[in-house]
Amino acid sequence: MATLLPKSVRILFRTYVGLPDVTREAFLFGQYALHLLKASFFPDQDLPKVPKLELYRRAQVQQIADAAHAALRNPARVNWKLRDLLAAVQEPDFDPDQLWKRFPPLGPHTGKPPGRFSPEWTPEVVVDQEGYILLWYFPSVIRDQYIQQILQTLRSCKEGKSFFSSKDDGTWRRHEGNFYGGDFQTTPQGMALLFPVASRSARGSDSERTYGPSKCFRKRIENAFTAVGQLMDPLALLSAISAVTQPTQFHAGVSVLESFHKGELEIDDADLFTEVLENWAATYHAIAIYNNHNPPLHTEELIPHLFYETFLSCGSSPSTTRFICATHRWLSEPTSDSVVMVGSHYHQLIKYYESKDDDPFNGQTGPFTSPDLLRYLEDNITV
């Protein structure tokens, strides 16, 4: 994980990036959210003109910025330090049970039982003893039209060959025992992973690392391409959430996609990558979709690299509709049909920039404190 101590990052409001139109619009979506968030704290901030954002999108971006503003003004504190957690998980023989006792799972209003999230609660951040933001909680920020787009996409994926899958063994991610009944007559069972570019090397074999699109695109599963097209608005929404909660990851994620698109980084299946990217309305490197998946019990809640993920929960029950960002916390409840979408920045790709001498992000893609984030907005988000 990157250093905990933020450094100055100079990111201007770029109106052009070397990416296809839909990906560029997702970038503008997030940039506009950053400007609105800055304006909420600094009233003299000028807002840029973003003519390509439709009125309903502008309204959703404003809602995201308002939620982030409210969250930063409503911190809840845990009684441990992130740097202690980082040290603990580096120990080769760490005991997960002891880690859970020492670093309890995060949740809004941290005195509540873990996992008891309520849409009636207000937006908040959870911070450690040193003020580092461990979790953002945005209840009910996603509009119903986006929820319906996601659910309709799942229904359409049931027709023909599905790119969702589950297994009778393996990890919690695809283990069929973790998927509960639900409306599987009209929606596919299992987990789907969509990405234009990610590592295809053997685990731990950086020397043999290659990059390319996900298997469902390489196998030309038609529903995978259809799903990406149908999810354009929700994917752009996830990107805006990423922008206001982890702005350096947001910009680094765009730069990684841009470098592959320009041919600055080598990629397998370059033509297929371009085809996928032309429909990829996100600044994330990958999107995972879990349909009717039980909240898993696993140690990854404590693994720091999952600061690179954003979770969206939605479904037929209002209690499942919320965002949680910058930490790993499962959101679905096995009481109704529900979907969890996870936007991921691959830390291996982000670290490509951290290792460069001219790294524009100065190695800072980890968590911020609230004052650091406000300084970042004041110093770097300009028209």
Interval 79-92: pLDDT, tens: 888 888 877 877 87
CA distances from 139 to 108, 118, 235 (A): 10, 7, 18
**Predicted confidence (pLDDT) per residue in 37-81, tens digit:** 999 999 888 887 766 777 888 888 999 999 999 999 988 888 888
Q: Which of 138-152, 222-236, 248-262, 342-356 has the lowest mean pLDDT?
A: 342-356
* Residue 322 lies inside a defined structural domain of this protein: yes
pLDDT value, residue 171: 77
Q: What's the number of domains the chain is made of?
A: 1
Nearest-angstrom CA–CA distance, 285 and 344: 6
* Residue 10 lies inside a defined structural domain of this protein: no
**Predicted confidence (pLDDT) per residue in 289-334, tens digit:** 988 877 665 555 555 545 677 888 887 666 666 677 655 455 555 5
Residue 230 has pLDDT above 80, yes or no: yes
For residue 311, give the H/E element and its range.
Answer: strand 309-315
Q: Who wins on pLDDT, 161 or 345?
A: 345
* Residue 229 lies inside a defined structural domain of this protein: yes
201, two tokens: 């090397």
* Residue 16 lies inside a defined structural domain of this protein: no
Strand 286-291 to strand 211-212: parallel, antiparallel, or no bridges (unpaired)?
unpaired
Mean pLDDT, all residues of the chain: 76
* Residue 2 lies inside a defined structural domain of this protein: no
Distance of CA 191 to the CA centre of its chain: 16
Range of the domain at 169: 21-380
Mean pLDDT of 170-195: 78
* Residue 15 lies inside a defined structural domain of this protein: no
Residue (of 174, 150, 172) closest to 164 by Cα position: 174
Local confidence band at 8 (pLDDT 50, 70, 90 cut-offs): very low
DSSP for residue 293 = B
**Predicted confidence (pLDDT) per residue in 92-112, tens digit:** 787 777 877 787 766 555 545
For residue 347, give the H/E element and its range.
Answer: helix 347-354
The residues with which 291 forms a beta bridge, in sequence order, are 190, 339
Mean pLDDT of 181-206: 72
Length of the chain: 383
Local confidence band at 255 (pLDDT 50, 70, 90 cut-offs): confident
Amino acid of residue 160:
G
